[in-house]
Structure 1
Amino acid sequence: MSIVERDRTEVPAQVGYDICYVNGFQTQPEDSAVFAAQHPELLVLVDGAPLVDEGWPDEYLFDTSTARRRAALVQIVGAWITGCADAGYEAVEIDNVDSYTRSRSVLTVEDNLALAQEYARLAHAAGLAIAQKNTAEQSVRLRAMGYDFAVTESCVEFEECAAYQDQYPVVLDVEYTDELGDDGFTAACRDGDHPRSMILRDHDLLTPEDPGYTYRRCGT
């Protein structure tokens, strides 16, 4: 079966199993300015300015620190999740549940997991499966909250695959050419302990027309 993941703003590919990407704990770069203008109270602020993710400097962290803020985020992100179902997606992937690690101690793991549990409830109510994205150390708790499968990055490279595989029947893993590389990917594919659904990509996720584009599945 073909598995295609697209952003929530895009239509599903409808060539197999469609996963809808939702940034559930941070803004998307193109939405950051508008979100900050409309919902400044829902962003982590440092010295009066939204706190950015240093790895993705155009993304602002959502403030999950109180039940009231989480409820407001549920209303906003919940509409995105429902929109994925209405568009015809079968599943939703919620990204950045680990934003608390980049929050300068403003947020806690409990804050984010409380919101993550609400996202699972909303997804299932909309008829969608829901995927954990990365954050291997929280796999046990997220699985107990109802998360159905995992979408991971570099779990072979960072020796984290077992943490996901111990909890989920399906783990969709992406490895990268500038980390594991071609030879490492080939070796990982031969190792029966790694996820069956594993691909190798260029880190910039280029399109086939671009120089440097890489897309490999095990066996290719």
Structure 2
Amino acid sequence: MLERDRRTGRGTLAALVTVLVTVLALTGCTVGSAMDPHSEHSGDAPAGGDWSLPPAGATPDYQLGGAYEPAAEVGIVGRDRSADPAADAYSICYVNGFQTQPGELGSWDADLLLQHDGATVFDPDWPDEALLDTSTADRRERIAAQIIPWIEGCADDGFAAVEFDNLDSYTRSDDTLSLDDNLALATLFVDAAHGAGLAAGQKNAAEDAAALRDRAGFDFAVTEECAVFEECDVYTAVYGAHVIDIEYSDELPRSFAEMCADAESPASMVLRDRDLVTPDNPAYVFETCGA
């Protein structure tokens, strides 16, 4: 659920941008149109799609720990796929697409769980989440067959978009999985989302943002702590205004007000407590840049 990979990938992205600028200069195209065709200047829906992008600059809330009535200023709400969407906001459905959800290990075929030295591989930060084995086309198709009904369920419930977590699971696989493996599965998920009328959101994995957008077809990004890790610009370079950032109150190197004022921070940013609890819990934190 939370940020796992803290690498920024700026060097790789900068090199890609440099090459792209050179090519576009020779062809007479503009960098803006190539890097951000889904920006606020190009309408609410990508060309050829019947899904809508998150409203640029809208105030978000992240409610994976439990659904509750959003504050009046909130325009974007992220909730788990087991919850109903928020009635009066752009609602994003959370799907753990590359690891098992806590409590759901038994619902997966054993051979779809990644094995290393005869043991199932678990996320070291989330020991109740096993990595799904994306290494072959057959396994990817079977994983997709289990997850695509969840995506379609998000659409049936009335969500506007779906975000896919743990895209970077390959980095925790002891080199058993690759980025290409996860991109291939991600493409199946994005196609299913678009087919169901949902926008598809990249969750975290800053260093892979360009590949996830260009090769898998993601439309926007949901990131955790991009201001803390100084990587927000990596996401906005790829997705423009369609980046939603959640910062957490227990790891702030500076005040949230300073983060909001930082020109590199996304306009859609919220401060939450680490466990994303509901307002009736004393640990609840919710602060917006407009506060």
What range describes the TM-score normalised by the shorter chain of this pair? over 0.9
Which amino acid is 1:175 matched to? E
Distance 1:30 1:6 in 2: 18
Aligned residues: 216
Which amino acid is 1:191 matched to? D
Distance 2:283 2:195 in 1: 41
Asked if residue 179 in structure 1 is aligned to residue 251 in structure 2, the reply is yes
Distance 1:3 1:12 in 2: 10
Which amino acid is 1:51 matched to? V
Which amino acid is 1:171 matched to? V
Which amino acid is 2:195 matched to? A
Asked if residue 168 in structure 1 is aligned to residue 239 in structure 2, the reply is yes
Q: Which residue of 2 aligns with 1:201?
A: 272
Distance 1:174 1:125 in 2: 28
Q: Deviations over 1:150-203 (max 9, x none)?
A: 00001011111011001113100011111126x421101112221000011111
Q: Which residue of 2 aligns with 1:15?
A: 88
Distance 1:159 1:114 in 2: 28
Query: How far apart are residue 100 of structure 1 and its match?
Result: 0.5
Query: How far apart are residue 49 of structure 1 and its match?
Result: 3.2
Asked if residue 74 in structure 1 is aligned to residue 144 in structure 2, the reply is yes
In the TM superposition, what are the counterparts of 1:59-138 in structure 2 within 5 Å? 59-138=129-208
Residue identity (%):
52
Distance 1:34 1:77 in 2: 12
Q: Deviations over 1:81-133 (max 9, x none)?
A: 11111111100000000000111111111111111111111111111000000
Question: Which structure 2 residue ranges, 5 or more long, are not aligned?
Answer: 1-73
Distance 2:116 2:236 in 1: 37
Distance 1:172 1:61 in 2: 25
Query: How far apart are residue 46 of structure 1 and its match?
Result: 2.8
Residue 103 of structure 2, aligned match among 30, 36, 45: 30
Q: Tell me the TM-score normalised to structure 2 length.
A: 0.72
Distance 1:112 1:197 in 2: 27
Larger radius of gyration: 2
Task: Kindly report the root-mean-square deviation, in angstroms, between the aligned alpha carbons of the 2 structures.
Answer: 1.3
Query: How far apart are residue 30 of structure 1 and its match?
Result: 1.6
Distance 1:188 1:197 in 2: 12
Asked if residue 157 in structure 1 is aligned to residue 245 in structure 2, the reply is no
Distance 2:229 2:148 in 1: 32
**Higher RCO, 1 or 2 (CA under 8 Å, sep at least 6)?**
2
Distance 1:22 1:196 in 2: 24
Distance 2:273 2:250 in 1: 7
Which amino acid is 1:13 matched to? A
Stretch deviating more after TM superposition (12-21 or 58-67): 12-21
Which amino acid is 1:177 matched to? S
Q: Tell me the TM-score normalised to structure 1 length.
A: 0.94
Query: How far apart are residue 5 of structure 1 and its match?
Result: 1.3
Q: Which residue of 2 aligns with 1:219?
A: 290
Residue 140 of structure 1, aligned match among 191, 205, 210: 210
The SS at the match of 1:114 is helix
